[in-house]
Amino acid sequence: MNIDKGYVDAPVDPALDLKAEILRLKKEKGAAVLAHYYQQAEIQDIADYIGDSLALARIAATLKEDIIVMCGVHFMGETVKILCPEKKVIVPDLNAGCSLADSCQAPEFGRFIEAHPGHTVISYVNTSAAVKALTDIVVTSGNAKEIVASLPEDEKIIFGPDRNLGNYIKATTGRDMIIWDGACHVHEQFSLEKIAELMKQYPGAELLVHPECKKPLQIMASKVGSTAALLKYAKESPCRQFIVATESGILHQMQKDCPDKEFIPAPPADSTCACNECAFMKLITLTKLYNSLRYELPLVEVDSRLIPLAKRPILRMLELSDKLVK
| Contact footprint for ligand SF4 (CB under 6 A) | 73, 98-100, 126, 184, 186-187, 247, 278, 280-281
Give the interface segment with ligand 13P, choosing from 63-71, 88-96, 134-142, 213-221 (CB under 6 A): 134-142
Q: For the chain, first and last CA: distance in Å?
A: 43
Residue 52 or 78 having the CB closest to ligand 13P: 52
- Give the number of C-alpha atoms closer than 13 A to the C-alpha of residue 223, restricted to the C-beta side: 22
C-alpha to C-alpha distances, 317 to 210, 211, 242, nearest whole angstrom: 20, 19, 31
User: Pick from ligand 13P, ligand SF4, none: which does 280 bind, CB < 5 to 8 A by kind?
Assistant: ligand SF4
User: Pick from ligand 13P, ligand SF4, none: which does 47 bind, CB < 5 to 8 A by kind?
Assistant: none
Residue 182 within binding range of ligand 13P, rule CB under 6 A = no
Residue 143 within binding range of ligand 13P, rule CB under 6 A = no
Residue 8 or 179 having the CB closest to ligand 13P: 179
User: Contact, 318 vs 141, CB < 8 A?
Assistant: no
User: Pick from ligand 13P, ligand SF4, none: which does 141 bind, CB < 5 to 8 A by kind?
Assistant: ligand 13P
Closest separation between CB of residue 302 and ligand SF4, Å? 18
The single residue among 44, 79, 99, 126 that binds ligand 13P, judged by CB under 6 A, is 126
Strand order in the sheet with 88-90: 49-51, 31-36, 67-71, 88-90
- Give the number of C-alpha atoms closer than 13 A to the C-alpha of residue 131, restricted to the C-beta side: 27
**Sequence-ordered list of residues with C-beta below 8 angstroms from that of 200, at least 6 positions apart, any chain:** none
Closest separation between CB of residue 306 and ligand SF4, Å? 20
Per-position x/- string for 211-250, each x denoting binding to ligand 13P as judged by CB under 6 A, each - no binding: -x-------------xx-----------------------
Residue 103 within binding range of ligand 13P, rule CB under 6 A = no
Q: Sign of the CA dihedral 276, 217, 170, 174?
A: negative
Residue 188 or 206 having the CB closest to ligand SF4: 188
Rg of the chain's alpha carbons, rounded to an integer?
Answer: 20
Residue 78 or 247 having the CB closest to ligand SF4: 247
Closest separation between CB of residue 229 and ligand 13P, Å? 8
Q: Supply angle C-alpha 56, 59, 63, rounded to 5.
A: 135
Residue 99 within binding range of ligand 13P, rule CB under 6 A = no
Closest separation between CB of residue 61 and ligand 13P, Å? 16
Residue 292 within binding range of ligand 13P, rule CB under 6 A = no
Say if residue 319 is exposed, middle or buried (CB neighbours under 10 Å; 0-12, 13-18, 19+): exposed
Alpha carbons 4 and 326: distance in angstroms, whole number: 42
Distance of CA 322 to the CA centre of its chain: 19
Which residues, in sequence order, are bridge partners of residue 36? 51
Interacting residues with ligand 13P (CB under 6 A): 52-54, 126, 140-142, 184, 212, 226-227
